[in-house]
């Protein structure tokens, strides 16, 4: 079997929206890290740490940091990757969630976890915080060492380079060349990388707040509003009077009344002036 290195690029457009559904169910209180064994985190308990991928359940097997990366990103390897490997309950193919890691200029939460783990200080590792809430790529791959393509297939979920986590250079050096064999994740003949525009969903939240496109009907909102009773403007509050004034129909009626009164006033003034001139003319003739 031949294979080629997996390369994560923005040119990948093969959609995987219906099949590639990822639900994470990592404990929100975090998992206990009791130490660091080379590049692998020593986890005290992996109970109830699982994901659901393509509607199949997988349990966490191990968490480690690999340097340099297993994959290519736009043709190049990145500094490191956070790799979470899951084993299935009913099949033989494992699932790996991979997040790229780059050198950062300031200490991150991942730095703090690594510092404590390296010193043997027990710490909590909330995996939920390190899984980007962004679209991801997926493929069925094999591990390639040198020119040899492995036979054990692995379902891979990987995020883009722009979603990378960060480690300061000092901590990055702890994992330098942990991938000393330069193993690569590769695509067997006939396999391709797909792009899922759906973000990972937190399973416990998804059950409580289903993400659907169905309309939501609230019976309280369906009640017809009670008709407002007429109140005299002279007993209204300032807010009620403001709302009353803004009523378009009332504005039209009030405008018509004002116009009528104005016309009558002009007519009255004109009539008075006309009568006054008539009286003056009569007096002058006599």
pLDDT classification of 83: cutoffs 50, 70, 90: very high
pLDDT on residue 264: 78
Joined together, the tokens standing for residue 280 give: 């003056």
Q: Concatenated DSSP letters for 219-260?
A: HHHHSPPPPPPP--GGG--HHHHHHHHT-HHHHHHHHHHHHH
Count H helices and E strands in the chain, helices first.
6, 17
Spatial separation of the C-alpha atoms in residues 2 and 190, rounded to whole Å = 10
pLDDT on residue 209: 35
First to last CA, the chain: 132
- DSSP label of 92: S
pLDDT tens-digit readout, 258-283: 788 888 778 777 776 655 665 555 55
Mean per-residue pLDDT, 110-124: 90
Spatial separation of the C-alpha atoms in residues 146 and 148, rounded to whole Å = 6
Beta-carbon contacts of 283 under 8 Å, excluding residues fewer than 6 positions away, are none
pLDDT tens-digit readout, 156-184: 999 999 999 999 999 999 998 887 777 88
Spatial separation of the C-alpha atoms in residues 236 and 241, rounded to whole Å = 6
pLDDT tens-digit readout, 18-49: 678 888 888 887 888 888 888 899 887 777 78
pLDDT tens-digit readout, 203-248: 654 333 333 333 333 333 344 445 555 555 555 555 565 665 666 5
């Amino acid at each position: 079997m031949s294979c080629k290195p997996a390369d994560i690029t923005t040119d990948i457009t093969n959609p995987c929206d219906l099949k590639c559904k990822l639900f994470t169910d990592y404990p929100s209180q975090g998992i206990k890290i009791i130490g660091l064994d080379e590049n692998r985190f020593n986890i005290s308990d992996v109970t109830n740490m699982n994901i659901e991928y393509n509607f199949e359940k997988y349990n966490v097997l191990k968490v480690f940091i690999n340097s340099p990366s297993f994959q290519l990103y736009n043709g190049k390897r990145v500094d490191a990757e956070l790799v979470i490997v899951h084993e299935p309950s009913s099949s033989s193919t494992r699932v790996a969630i991979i997040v790229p890691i780059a050198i950062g200029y300031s200490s991150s939460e991942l730095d703090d976890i690594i510092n404590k783990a390296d010193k043997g200080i027990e710490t909590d590792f909330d995996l939920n915080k390190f899984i980007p809430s962004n679209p991801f790529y997926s493929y069925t791959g094999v591990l390639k060492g040198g020119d040899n393509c492995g036979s054990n297939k692995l379902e891979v979920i990987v995020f883009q380079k722009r979603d990378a986590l960060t480690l300061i250079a000092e901590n990055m050096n702890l994992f330098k060349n942990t991938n000393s064999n330069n193993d690569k994740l590769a695509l067997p003949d006939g396999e391709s990388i797909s792009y899922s525009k759906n973000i990972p969903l937190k399973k416990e939240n998804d059950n409580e707040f289903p993400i659907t496109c169905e309309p939501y009907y609230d019976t309280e909102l369906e009640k017809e509003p009670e008709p407002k009773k007429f109140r005299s403007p002279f007993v209204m509050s300032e807010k009620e009077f403001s709302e009353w004034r803004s009523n378009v129909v009332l504005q039209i009626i009030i405008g018509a009344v004002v116009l009528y009164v104005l016309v009558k006033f002009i007519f009255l003034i004109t009539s008075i002036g006309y009568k006054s001139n008539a009286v003056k003319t009569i007096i002058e003739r006599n």
